[in-house]
Structure 1
Amino acid sequence: MARQVAAVVGILALMTGASAYPQPSPDPAGGVGPAVIEGLAQQPATTVAGPPRELVPTRPGTATIRGRVLAADTGLPLRKVQVRLSSTGEDRSPARFENQLTTTDASGRYEFGELPAGRYNLTAMKGGYVSFEYGQRRPAESGKPIEVRADQTLEKIDFALPRGAVITGHVLDEFGEPSANVYVAPMRYHFDERGRRRLIPAGGATTNDLGEFRIFALAPGDYYLSATYPGEFGDSNDRAAYAPIYYPGTPEVDLAERLTVASGQTVTDLSLTLLPVRTVRVSGTAVDSEGRPMPGFLVIEPSRSKVADMNQRMALVQPDGSFTAGGLTAGEYRLLVRAEPMLGSTEQATASAVITVGGDDVTGVRLVAGKPSIATGKVVIGDARAAQSLRPSAFHVVTIPDEEMTGALSHDDAQTPVNDDWSFRVTLPPGRTRLHVFGTPGWNVKAVRSGGIDISDVGLDVKASEDLTNIEIELTNRVTETTGLVTDERGEPVRDYAVVIFARDRQKWGSPSRWVRTARSDQDGRFKIGGLPPGEYFAYAVDFIETLATRFALGEGETQMLKLKLHTTP
């Protein structure tokens, strides 16, 4: 246990951004406890008026990062490796955000020059090899950031890419004949952005005319192999179809066989046989809040699936508001229609319903959209002097629906530019929705208020046909930052670790949460986490964060048996 958990040294009370700030001093006790984040005194939020100043173009940087990419198994240099550099976003006032790509030469060397001082992530990618971030030790782990100062040159920022695993096989139909154009995907359990543990594809391949597939560059680990026959867009007269299956040939993901592959391993000659099923149609109409036809796009997906993006269907809603979609098997589905002005809709709106499909066609489904809700308000700035250099049009108000399907079908105005007087007007879908602002680096959302109440974490409860006014989004350039070092039980510095910082208040541990952050140490053994809201936190240092941790829920009277995997550090 001592090897896996280390004391955090130098967790500060998080500082708000200032022109100069002290470096953290080591904590002799090396204890782990709450850290207090307090904001500096600010003037009341100010709505900025008057013509903004033009931004001055930033000059090229003076830092350089270079290194080599080698094959992990042979140590030989790899040519034509794509290396991508991107800003981490942890700096409070970056000169600019970087996103660059270069390719290694015959000696496996790469270089990024004219970089501004800051923190960066580097990723190396080459066909047949597992893509890795710099400092990554395991496939399920994030990489280490690189921090570079002005005029500094960092050498030997090297990668060792492991060879990817390969899975090959063939897909047959019920008559034992090869089946072409079947999509075969290795799937792994991950937590999605909403905190749900789901099977998510990790690449994939389509079968050829001989029914053969070959999946390459897989990271070592456990997979479940799925095979999905291509579905038609819209309706089909063919009532015979094939259900999605999982190796070795079951339609139930819970009965699928787990495949474990090692680095560079090739698993050959897997065979999957498609299962024919009878499908049904769903038909109905979609109308807007005035009862008018609502042409647009219809998306149908299983409402309680453990698997992401499986068995999803799409269709058009016709100009008369009618829709028909085929190819559905028995189960519960969520239907969502998004109005599309280009197809003739008079207003931007969405409508949804949940249906249960059995052995017969489902007809007469009626989807009715509520009147679109409009939210209006202003962006306010705490520091009026600093705001004079900002252009309102550089900022965009973004709507983030809690409902996954609604978010996927958001309209283009989900990102709305702020007006010259710092006002905004956005269309909101029904349901719980959060507002955020993206724009000039170094500025973060401090609070979102509705009626004077802070709703930053809970969002707006949007009801159909109800407009919302006097929304206030406050921005600040006084962004918090936490940095520090980690020592082991002997007081020796630890260079390779991960840090978890989370609010002391358990009510703020939901997913997603701006109150919970993780970070890896950089090349010098320091960690940095920026942008946490002011408050009290706990910080924890661990050797390795297993991103595939098992999360589960218990219903009333329910019993579950869990199979957990113990991870130890060699």
Structure 2
Amino acid sequence: MRHLTAGVFAWALIASCLVFESAHSQTKPANKIDTGTVSGRITVKGKGMPGVVVGLRPGESDQQVRPSLRGTSDEDGKYRISNVPPGSYQVAPIAPTFVFIDASNSGSGGKALLIADGEAVEGFDFALARGGVITGKVTDAEGRPVIEEYVHLAMEDQSPPPGSESVKTDDRGIYRAFGVPPGQYRVSAGLGDDSFSGGGRVPRPYRRTFYPSITDPAQAAMVEVAEATEATNIDITVVRMATGVSASGRVVESKNGEPVANVRLSITKITVQGNSTSHSTGSIPNTNMKGEFRAESLSPGKYTVSISRFRESLRADPVTFDVLDQDVTGLLIKTSMGASLAGTVVIQGSPQDSALQKIAPLFIAAHSRDESPQGGSGRHSAVNPDGSFHLSGLEAGTIHLSLGKGGINRGRGIAISQIERDGLVQPDGIQIQNGEQVTGLRVITTIGTGTIRGKVNIENGPLQPGWRLFVNLVKLGEQPTGISPEVDARGHFIAAGLTSGSYEIWATVYTPGSPQSARSGKQLVTVADGVVSEVTITVDLNQNPRPTP
């Protein structure tokens, strides 16, 4: 839930496309860091709330782990946290039964904050309200309590999962969700039609059933929650799911039909609703010594089974099949040795060893594009300390390479300027054939030292709860993969480690329930090496929503 429990300090560190590095002055010694401060006020109905601990946690997975940073509100609700190194953080008060009022563009665990060298952030306030409670009992058709079953709460414009929060029933079948933000909720228990166990876990035996004990989400009763109120007797009688069928087959070598043992497989259910298609993916046990595999408890629908992309050297086309009302047998996945690319990452203008050490860890990713229905596939690998790399298990087609620092597709701080194969520049990607082993590639790169520091101004109203603000940078003249710096609760963002050139910057507000429309603003910025470029982008919430850029 979005209540503010001590669990905020166990937030998962999310690996995403968000991009941030602290901007360093060119005149300061490399080892000197000016710490900053964060201060604000905790209020409930406009009155200061004393004795609340406010904590900071790093907001990125590749930031250095630091001692916990925290402060406590005084009698007037004011808090102050000192000695904050530059970086990306989540800031949150620990108040178990309270919720954020001003939660727009913030995660459930707090508000995002980007802080620069020596910056004094003031007015980083939190307005809280006492959350509501939803409680009830989950039973089966015989009236027996359903123990340790997940109960999902989804706001009116969301469908679980995703977009839902969940709690578990106790040994009496009773659940209690507290710290629930005001709003209307669909409450459900059990699995949706697009969920399955895949055979690697014990399947949950109940279909998703909504309050008041119906399986059609359109007929679900909405549960109203107001501040500091309790919705009781939200009881659900779940419907037992059909046992389901199984799908089995073998993985063999395409050349000789020999079984391939201990292969990790993935199974995906494909659900089509109107013009949208969703995919639900799970894993199934590895193949045995005979190359056999089996997926169990599958509900009716269309599926694909494939070799996990993390199996290094093998490749195989996914096998598609339909599940009706009986077991599916005889599936056959034929493997072959995939193509591979090997070479060296070369950094222009810097001693190779020292430059690589400064930007480590570095990853290289390959994506193949072909004419198959799947449209190609991707692989990734770490770049070794000497710059060498090896990518295997690739499909035939046109290969495009990209580099990332601190994670896949994070692509900041370093950019590919050209790729050479046998001394020839490859401007449109690398062509490879089935099973071809390419060596001697030279991936020539440059290290970016430019920075864009910006702010997004919102006109005609603040962001509403559930709305999200994103920033995307695209370097003109390059592949439009884009860079997405993190935007904090103030609308500030920093994109560092940029190579010189012109960038188009979009700021986009996404509204819930309208993923294909948005309100946007943009600016064109020129980046130079070693220079911080300032930019302000305005998004007018009164403009008509339009397709996202």
Which TM-score band (shorter chain)? 0.5 to 0.7
CA deviation digits over 1:56-104, x for unaligned, max 9?
Answer: x974634232435625445313535543244799xxxxxx856553344
1:70 is matched with which residue?
42
Q: Secondary structure at the match of 1:391?
A: helix
Q: Give the conservation status (yes or no) of the 8 Å contact 2:347–2:355.
A: no
> What displacement does 1:338 show?
3.6
Q: Distance in 1 between matches of 2:368 and 2:219?
A: 31
* Distance change in 2, residues 1:258/1:372 (3 Å): farther
Q: Which deviations, in whole Å up to 9, do the C-alpha atoms of 1:288-309 show, x marking residues without a partner?
A: 4553323233333312378989
- Rounded to whole Å, the distance in 1 between the matches of 2:306 and 2:84 is 46
Question: Partners in 2 of 1:499 and 1:338 — Cα distance?
Answer: 31
Equivalent residue, structure 2, for 1:494:
none
Question: How far is 1:257 from its partner?
Answer: 5.8
Indicate how the Cα distance of structure 1 residues 279 and 444 shifts in structure 2: closer, same or farther if over 3 A, else same. same
Letter paired with 2:239: L
In the alignment, structure 1 residue 204 sits paired with structure 2 residue 176: no
- 2:302 matched to which residue of 1? 332
Local SS of the residue matching 1:384: coil
- Indicate the residue corresponding to 2:232 in structure 1: 268
Aligned length: 464
The 5 Å alignment of 1:211-290 reads 211-219=173-181, 224-228=186-190, 234=199, 241-249=205-213, 251=215, 261=225, 264=228, 266-276=230-240, 277-289=242-254
Measure, in 1, the Cα distance between the counterparts of 2:498 and 2:81: 30
The answer to whether the aligner puts 1:79 opposite 2:79 as a matched pair is: no
- Tell me if the contact between 2:347 and 2:445 (Cα under 8 Å) persists in the aligned partners: yes
Q: 1:231 to 1:540 in 2, by over 3 A?
A: closer
SS at match of 2:235: strand
Match of 1:30 in 2: none
What does residue range 259-408 of structure 1 map to in structure 2 within 5 Å?
Answer: 261=225, 264=228, 266-276=230-240, 277-289=242-254, 291-304=258-271, 312=282, 314-338=284-308, 352-384=318-350, 388-391=354-357, 394-399=360-365
Structural mapping, 1:162-181, within 5 Å: 162-181=129-148
Q: What secondary structure sits across from 1:364 in the alignment?
A: strand
Indicate whether 1:465 and 2:435 are aligned: yes
Aligned to 2:14: none
CA shift, 1:358, in A, is 0.1
1:171 CA displacement = 2.1
Check whether the contact 2:209–2:238 (CA below 8 A) recurs between aligned residues. Answer: yes
Asked if residue 147 in structure 1 is aligned to residue 115 in structure 2, the reply is yes
Matches within 5 A, 1:413-428: 414-420=380-386, 422-428=387-393
Which is further off, 270-279 or 161-170? 161-170
Bigger proportion of residues as strand:
2
Q: CA deviation at 1:202?
A: 3.9
State the 1:445 CA deviation: 2.4
In structure 1, what is the Cα distance between the partners aligned to 2:143 and 2:210?
17
CA distance in 2 between counterparts of 1:308 and 1:506 reads: 33
Q: CA deviation at 1:361?
A: 0.7
Cα displacement (A) at 1:367? 1.7
Q: SS at 1:514's partner residue?
A: coil
Structure 2 counterpart of 1:228, one-letter code: G
Mapping for residues 384-533 of structure 1, pairs under 5 Å:
384=350, 388-391=354-357, 394-399=360-365, 414-420=380-386, 422-430=387-395, 435-438=402-405, 443-447=413-417, 449=419, 452-454=425-427, 465-469=435-439, 471-483=441-453, 500=471, 503=474, 513-514=481-482, 519=487, 528-530=494-496
1:152-187, Cα deviation, whole Å (9 max, x unpaired): 655664434444444323222233332122222334
- CA RMSD after TM alignment: 5.3
Instruction: String of CA shifts for 1:469-490, please: whole Å, max 9, x gaps.
Output: 454444333344334567899x
Q: Which letter does structure 2 place at the counterpart of 1:303?
A: I
Q: Flag the 1:520–1:62 CA change in 2: closer, same or farther, 3 A.
A: closer
* d(CA) in 2 for partners of 1:236, 1:535: 51
Structure 1 residue 210: deviation in Å? 2.0
C-alpha separation in 2, matches of 1:202 and 1:182 = 15
Q: Percent identity?
A: 20
> For 1:19 and 1:309, how far apart are their aligned partners in 2?
46
| Distance of 2:114 and 2:201 partners within structure 1 | 53
In structure 2, the partner of 1:182 is: 149
Matches within 5 A, 1:64-143: 64-67=36-39, 70-73=42-45, 75-86=48-59, 97=64, 101-105=68-72, 107=74, 113-116=82-85, 118-124=86-92, 126=94, 128=96, 137=104, 143=111
Q: C-alpha separation between the residues in 1 aligned to 2:360 and 2:140?
A: 55
2: CA distance between counterparts of 1:528 and 1:264?
A: 38
Amino acid at match of 2:510: E
Q: Please list the CA deviations of residues 353-404 of structure 1 after superposition, one character each: whole Å capped at 9, or x if unmatched.
A: 221100011111112223133221221212225864543893332437699x
2:510 — aligned with what?
546
Cα contact 2:151–2:168 (8 A) shared by 1: yes
The 1:86–1:181 alpha-carbon spacing in structure 2 relative to 1, beyond 3 Å, is closer
Check 1:437–1:88 CA distance in 2 against 1; reply closer, same or farther (3 A cut).
closer
Shift in CA distance, 419/532, structure 1 to aligned 2, threshold 3 Å: closer
Unaligned runs of 5+ in 1: 1-16, 22-56, 90-95, 192-196, 490-496, 554-565
Q: Distance in 2 between matches of 1:476 and 1:359?
A: 57
For the 8 Å contact 2:134–2:230, the answer to whether it is kept is: yes
Q: Deviations along 1:192-244, whole A, 9 cap, x unmatched?
A: xxxxx994154312222222222344455665544236976738999x94333
Give the Cα separation in 1 of the matches to 2:383 and 2:287: 30
Stretch of structure 1 that moved more, 271-280 or 224-233? 224-233
Partner of 2:530: none
Q: Retained in 2: the 8 A contact 1:188–1:223?
A: yes
TM-score, normalised with respect to structure 2: 0.65
* 2:35 partner letter: A
SS in 1 for 2:48: coil
* 8 Å CA contact 1:503, 1:516 repeated in 2: no
Give the letter aligned to residue 49 of structure 2.
Answer: L
Match of 1:61 in 2: 33
CA contact 1:400–1:434 (8 Å) conserved in 2: yes
Return closer, same or farther for 1:76/1:502 CA change in 2, 3 Å cut-off.
same
Aligned match of 2:17: none
Cα distance between partner residues in 2 of 1:85 and 1:114: 14
AA of the residue aligned to 2:208: P
| Matching residue's letter, 1:363 | T
Q: 1:311 and 1:396, CA in 2 relative to 1: closer, same or farther beyond 3 A?
A: closer
Q: Determine if contact 2:269/2:279 at 8 Å carries over to the other structure.
A: no
